[in-house]
Amino acid sequence: MFEDKTLVCKECGAEFVFTAREQEFYAEKGFENEPQRCKPCRDKRKNAGRAPREMHEAVCAACGGVARVPFTPRDDRPVYCSECFAKMKEEEAATDAE
């Protein structure tokens, strides 16, 4: 029923795809208007009024690299960099699937 459409962002002028799945979602929610901005412009607009997150540096407990986290690290809890955290989540999901 729905087919991918190429739209032009009114903010930056870039072309972006309004996928069939997104169109289906819009229809389910009763939205009548197509998106006018690409995802990066929507995100930028959404976050414009927010103060940037304060990030803290810590040492990754798995690889020893630098981990930048949005919370104050504590000595009694391990902190992981993004890559190691993602690997742990993948391994956890694989273990749960078994």
> Going by C-beta distance under 8 Å and a sequence separation of 6 or more, which residues neighbour residue 9?
15, 16, 36, 37, 38, 41
The pTM for the full model equals 0.51
Which band of pLDDT confidence, cut at 50, 70 and 90, is reported for residue 92? confident
Decide if pLDDT at 98 tops 80: no
- Highest mean predicted confidence (pLDDT) among 28-32, 49-53, 93-97: 28-32
Helix ranges restricted to H, the chain: 20-29, 39-47, 82-97
pLDDT single digits (tens) 37-59:
999 999 999 888 888 889 999 99
3-state secondary structure at position 89:
helix
Provide the token pair at 53: 């997150």
Amino acid in the structure at residue 36: Q
Contact yes or no for 67/79 (Cβ under 8 A): yes
Decide if pLDDT at 33 tops 80: yes
